[in-house]
Amino acid sequence: SSPQLSSVPLQVLLYVNSIYYASYFAATLAMIVYKSQAFSYPDDFLAPDLTLLLLMALVEVLRLHLGSKGNLTEEEAPLGLSLALTVASVILAVYFLMWQTYVLRADVILNALLLLTYGLESVLKVMAIAAF
Amino acid sequence: VAKLCVCDLLVAQCDVNCCCDPDCSADDFSLFTTCSVPVVTGDSRLCSQKAAVYSLDVGADPPERIVELTERVNPSVFCIHAANYKEALFFPSPETPTSENFDQLLKQFGSPAFSAEPDSWNADAEHPSGGNETYRYEYGAPIQTADAFLRLPSPVVSSWCSDANPAAFLVSQATKCTRSVSTEECDSIPALSMLFYTNSSILAVPKSSQMVNITVHSITVQSPKGTRTLLKGSDVFRLPTLVDGLCINVVLGVSYRVTHTDTGEITAAAAAFVLGAIEKEALSIQQSFQITFTQVDTEPVPLSGNPGYVVGLPVRAGFRPQGYPFPAGSTNQHSQLTILQSTASPDCLAARGARTPVLFGYNTISGCKLRVSAEMKCQPLAQTLLDVLKGQSFPEYVASFGNSQGQDVLDWVPITHLHVSEQTMRDFSPLSCLIPVSLEIEVKWTRYGSLVNPQARIVNVTATLTSAALKRVPSGRERMIPVMSSVVFTDVSAPAEPGYKAWPSIGIRLPQDFFFPFL
């Protein structure tokens, strides 16, 4: 049988990432709702934050799907596209870490973990592309 | 944070127990007992903020103040790590008005109420302009006329008359103000002539075209000495004219009487004028204005309380017209309960007719002396005394509440009459003349209603007429008999009972066929 080139750690990480991101999305949305009640959060500042969160969700779903598909079919193109989308995700995560209207300590923790995951994923993806 | 001090209220002086006050010296600190402001921090929702902690070290002698600058860390996971929205945690400074932004600021803040979202107010302020909307006057709404509002001149700030005060619906007002007349000839000042107050016609309902003219109800002419005479035939308008250095027919007072329906529509308006004469060189005159409101088909009856009697207001009384069953509107003829009034001359007959109304809560006693000579017969004398004591029309019923209406029969209390005769031991002769010498009205009242706002209610009125035997008067001589009448108000309030609400009960009712088919 041909040696298996798909990276198992990458697949595991992608799976964990998807679960983590689902809870991250729910938690960030709940915290935005909390912030709008507890602090003064005018509409001009609330709209961009919510829009970027939704955009990040879309990008994440697409990225994880492409990454998983590329890894399992051992094709480089989807993996490369997923890597490019990771850059966008990193920028969005940095926004939620530093530039959103109110950054709570919980936000810092969640986004730091997410960035860590992205970093690990990128390394594994590069290794997988090199292997294919 | 080290410079902030909430308790530093006195400028350049040391505030007591204020440890952060920079005006305090070490000697002052040694006299403090505690620190009223122990910590001054920034917003506590931030994850880490600077704090200045003030404390007094009472162990040292003398006590000294300790200041520490520390970092306070908020342990909650939802503390604000960073806020990119600058105005989030501070109150915004208001904009300084300049010539550029003045119009915009006026539009935003110029109305009586404004909110953070100014657009939502505009939507509520617009009245729905429906075709079938019926407008009516509400309490306090300005009475509209063809051009503006019905004016009731009143003093504003100073005592000079201002014609810009609108009369409000159902708000009875009485004002006095000073009018300047030195500017022009007195017959060319509009505010001194009757036409000024009657030429505008009132709108029957707001925003309608139905007009109500102000008619002239009566004209009273006041002489320079102050006596007033009512003119008969008050149809003619009397305008101010100059006669011999005097300006006559000048309006000194106007009393508006507005008749309205119970749906807020004005049906009639009448003005009663007081005209007088002023000198040509007069600089100012005082005018008085009054407006009262009456509902159609009712007589304006001054209430003595609503509903309980108010101390100092007259006790309302009346008669019950004969006839059974009661016709509607019984117990009218609003007479008052009156008692004899003591006058300067002590002779009862000289001051006959001087009576004063009985005011609720005021115990009064009055009397006079009757001169009796030998020729006077007994019966007429007794009748005269009865007239003096009771007056011409002594009422039969007294209103239980200050606002009792004539048609509520149960709200009226009948006056009980008692006759007491004083018989002295020396007088056994049955032919001696019994004359009434004193009338004592005892009004029993109680507190009625809630404990917080008790209302005074009359429950019983008793008029006790005391008669005494008239001693024989030697012929040629006269005797003075003192006659007395008094009113006493007695409080017969029962002790207050607390009224508790019933305990709530759980109402459970099973359906009838719950145990079908067993039952």
| Domain spans in chain B, listed from the N-terminal domain onward | 2-73, 141-295, 313-491
Kindly report each contact of residues B151-157 with a partner whose C-beta sits within 8 Å and lies 24 or more positions away, as own/partner: B151/B197, B152/B256, B152/B289, B152/B291, B153/B177, B153/B179, B153/B191, B153/B287, B153/B289, B154/B289
Handedness of CA B196, B201, B204, B207 (dihedral sign): negative
Report pLDDT for A61: 95
* Chain A from 82 to 101: CB within 8 A of any B CB: 98-101
With an 8 Å Cβ cutoff, the interface of chain B facing chain A consists of 45, 47, 76-85, 87-88
Alpha carbon distance B211, B209 (integer Å)? 6
Q: Is A112 near chain B, with CB under 8 Å?
A: no
Could you count the other beta carbons within 10 Å of the beta carbon of residue B480?
Answer: 13
Number of residue pairs across A and B with CB atoms under 8 Å? 44
**CB distance B413 to B330 below 8 Å:** no
Residues of chain B short of pLDDT 50, as ranges, are 118, 120-132, 323-332
Q: Is B74 exposed, middle or buried (0-12, 13-18, 19+ CB in 10 A)?
A: middle
Which residue of B lies nearest to A99 if distances are taken between CA atoms?
Answer: B84
Write down the residue that tokens 């004359």 correspond to.
B435
Instruction: Give the Cα separation of B78 and B55 in Å (integer).
Output: 30
Tokens of B235: 């149809």
Q: Which of the residues A103, A109, A111, A113 would you substitute to probe the B interface, choosing the one with the greatest number of B C-beta atoms within 10 Å? A: A103
List chain A residues with pLDDT less than 50: none
A-chain CB neighbours of B45 within 8 Å are: 39
Q: β-strand B154-155 against B161-162: which pairing, if any? A: antiparallel
CA distance B474 to B222: 54
pLDDT digits (tens, 9 = 90+) for B75-115: 888 888 888 887 777 777 788 888 888 888 888 887 777 66
Closest partner residue to B88 (CB to CB) among A39, A100, A104 is: A39
- Cα distances from B160 to residues B154, B157, B164, B182, B435, in angstroms, run 8, 8, 12, 13, 60
Q: Residue ranges of the domains in chain A?
A: 8-130
Q: Check CB contact under 8 Å for A99 and B84.
A: yes
In this complex, the residue of B77, B84, B88 whose CB is nearest that of residue A100 is B84
Residue B367 contacts residue B482 (beta carbons within 8 Å): yes
Cα distance from B47 to chain A (closest Cα, Å)? Answer: 7
Q: Which residues of A touch B79 (CB under 8 A)?
A: 104-105
Burial A35-66 (b: 16+ CB within 10 A, else e): bbeebbbeeebeeebeebbeebbebbeebbeb
pLDDT of residue B408: 75
pLDDT of residue B127: 45
| Contacts with A99 from chain B: Cβ below 8 Å | 84
Instruction: Calculate the alpha carbon distances from B60 to B29, B63, B66, B345 in Å.
Output: 12, 5, 11, 87
